Amino acid sequence: MKPFQISILAADRPFYEGPCESLVVPTVTGQYGVLADHSNAIAAIIPGTLYYKVPDQPAKVASVSAGLIKIENNEVLVLVDSAERPEDIDANLAKQAADAAMEEILQKKSILEYRSAQARLAREISRLRVKTRYTERKQ
């Protein structure tokens, strides 16, 4: 498979930069796949699971939060607030954060606080899914 150049950047650090054979990101309309020579595009990323394949390695997975993907001239830029490998996710902390976000949603607060809590809940649920699904497979 022909590789293309990719940069996956979280707000606090570069997550992965280098060659990639395929990429799948979560978007509002579903999973969005990218291969070499993809047409130029921009799309919003939602919290979920990102899959990418580095040449000569097994497919890799990450939990990502909201962000965007830009595809231009066979180079892909993924900008997200956070990106984590399954082994880097603390399931207990993610569960606690999800519970706290759910509690905030249940309280009568402003629209801004409600939406912020919804976004945090979506991120934590995504982290828990990635941790549960992909950590167990390796063991």
pLDDT digits 0-9 by tens, 67-125: 999 999 999 999 999 999 999 888 888 899 999 989 988 887 788 888 888 888 898 99
Lowest-pLDDT choice from 44-48, 57-61, 85-89? 85-89
Q: Strand, helix or coil at 129?
A: helix
Residue ranges of domains in the chain, CATH in brackets? 4-84 (2.60.15.10), 90-138 (1.20.5)
* Residues 42, 32 contacting (CB under 8 angstroms): no
Distance CA 95, CA 97 (A): 5
Query: What average pLDDT does the chain have?
Result: 91
Residue 21: predicted pLDDT:
96
Residue with the two structure tokens 């390695």: 57
Question: 134: helix, coil or strand?
Answer: helix
Contacting residues for 75 by C-beta, under 8 A, at least 6 apart? 4, 5, 6, 7
